[in-house]
Amino acid sequence: MSDAPISRDPFLKRLADEGFEIEVNNAHLVVRNVPHVTERGTLSRGVLTCALSIDAATGLTATPQSDHTMYFAGETPCHRTGAPISNIINNSKKQRCGELNVDHYLSSKPEITHRYENIYDKVVAYEQLIGGAARSLDGTANARTHKRSIILNDDSPFAIPDSASARYRIGSVNRKLKGRVAIIGLGGTGSYLLDLVAKTWVKEIHLYDGDQLLNHNLFRSPGAPETALLKEFPFKVDYYAQVYARFHTGVRPHPVRVTSGNVDELRDFEFVFVCVDKGSSRRAIAEGLLRLGVPFVDTGIGVGIENDCLDGCARATFIHPSTNWVDVEKLLPFGDDEEDDGIYRTDIQIAAVNSLNAVMAVLRWQRWANFFRDERKEINSVYMIEGNNIANRTVI
């Protein structure tokens, strides 16, 4: 919740003011030191947690909360007799919620509305259900310990709260993509790549392109144009950096063309996306990245007119640092003449094909990073429009 200090949230602040030991960790609420009765009839302390429902407009906790459930880390919450509070325990399997290992999944809906009006009401209700039994044994047992106030621990790279990761409980998977990446070429495919990569947990996204943004570029890029930013004919990288800074804090523009003379600037990147349309530029970049040991995906589309219809393909080629140069030459088109011959016979750009090419490249990167499962480990994929099929090549 980086764009709205927790102290401004009235419901979280009320929990803290009343003495609850709460933490907010990457859009998850953690309530520590919750008293409960164990199956042995003794008192113990556990932890309540849940993903926070966030209002996109304000960045504060939503009213009402969209989810009525919570998780509990600790022994089985019981009545004073030691019998489990089965009416609120949905299951008791060990799992992960945010940054916390939990033991029980709890579910209790308000009787009339079936949803909690705010996060304060939700926490108080669950503490009462669990802690009430503890207080029947010891009247001083309370989660309102007044030991510490809110702790903010939000290491996400986003300019808005990442409630999606919390909602789908994929925070640990997202952290596999926390390095620095570069996108070379912010044309049709590169701009769609940025749109996808900006929604991941990479720390920094560096944009390289020496061209200005012109009107025709906007017809093969995501979103609607920001007219106020277009008046001075900005560089593509500067324009997109300003637009996506509203979503991701790590977008860095470099209004230069990558050549053999400056390719060494890319040595510290974990991954690079190459979206250029000239064979000579592709060769210089590929030679440099291979020498530097930086893995990359090279993209390309070829769309032309066939019988008054558009036809062609989209290609994504993964080059691992261990690939030898002889094989790279077999995989990538390096001659500038190839842009007008074979499958790269024209320079027609269509948003649908550019966006597909970007998806192919991003998915390949994410499989390589073990974000998605990767059993095929292909090095080259080509999508053919006419046949609606993808040909995958796993060996050279």
**pLDDT tens column, 257-278:** 999 999 999 999 999 999 998 9
What local confidence, expressed as pLDDT, does residue 323 receive? 95
CA distances for 105 relative to 68, 261, 302, angstroms: 11, 57, 51
CA distance 64 to 231: 42
Query: Edge to edge, what strands does the sheet with 21-25 contain?
Result: 89-91, 104-107, 69-73, 43-51, 28-37, 21-25, 151-153
Q: Which H or E run includes 227?
A: helix 227-230
Is 341's pLDDT higher than 50? no
Most confident residue range from 11-15, 99-103, 229-233, 355-359: 355-359
Average pLDDT of the residues of the chain: 91
Q: What is the mean pLDDT of residues 232-257?
A: 95
Cα 345 to Cα 101, 220, 284, 331, 337, distances in angstroms = 55, 19, 22, 17, 9
Residue 342 has pLDDT above 80, yes or no: no
pLDDT number for residue 178:
87
Count the helix, strand and coil residues of the chain and give each as a percent rounded to the nearest 5.
Answer: 30, 25, 45
Contact 254, 268 (CB under 8 A): no
Residues of the chain with CATH 3.40.50.720: 172-393
Give the C-alpha separation, 241 to 148, whole Å: 39
Is the domain spanning 172-393 CATH 3.30.1360.120? The answer is no
Average pLDDT over residues 378-390: 95
In whole angstroms, give the CA distance from residue 29 to residue 118: 13
Q: Which residue has the tokens 């960045």?
A: 59
Integer distance in angstroms from the first to the last C-alpha of the chain?
Answer: 47
> How far is Cα 201 from Cα 158, in angstroms, rounded to an integer?
8
Cis peptide before 255 (omega within 30 of 0): no
Model confidence over 251-262: pLDDT tens digits?
A: 999 999 999 999
